[in-house]
Amino acid sequence: MSAPTNPRFSLTDHFGQHVTERDFQGRWRLVLFGFTHCRSVCPRALRRFSAILKDLGDLADRVDALYITVDPDRDTPAVMREFLSSYPGFTGLTGTTAEIESAMREFRAFAARVDDPEEAGGYRVPHTAMSYLISPSGQYVTHFPDATPEEVVSSRLRLHLAS
């Protein structure tokens, strides 16, 4: 799978405001995909990146942390806002199914709804478990698979953000 180059999106933030990638121009972006009903991977990633951003200190002020849902049917702006209240450094982004699918294509991310009677709503959404670093000019810089150690992510972010 090829890396994204200049990922574009048109979504709604967790306050109900329409946003595109242009609203974040001039700032670094750390982008994660996930959903509010995710039991383990998403909360772990959000806790992890919250800790990394805290560890970055003042450098974190240069970063917009974006959490794009892969479950737009359940993740309304209000649901995202409530969920992300535990992760205050993140902006939640949602939209229509078509808008989310477009954003996933732009980032080369994957998600698929799978029927599962054990899950809330009767389904789960396996998805790409990595984060993407986007430059202030909107260009893809790198990505961090979920298994990348925190220290490595923090160190690599410091190098990019300090440049």
Residue 29 lies in a domain: yes
Predicted local confidence at residue 2, as pLDDT: 60
CATH no. for residue 156?
3.40.30.10
Tell me how many domains the chain contains.
1
Q: Is 37 annotated as a binding residue?
A: no
Please identify which residue in the block is written with the tokens 């405001």: 17
Q: Is 42 annotated as a binding residue?
A: yes
CA distance 127 to 82: 22
CA distance 44 to 14: 20
Mean pLDDT score, 26-37? 96
Predicted local confidence at residue 6, as pLDDT: 84
Q: Is 127 annotated as a binding residue?
A: yes
CA distance 122 to 28: 37
Residue 104 lies in a domain: yes
What confidence tens digit (pLDDT) does each residue in 84-135 have?
Answer: 999 999 999 999 999 999 999 999 999 999 999 988 888 989 898 999 999 9
pTM: 0.94
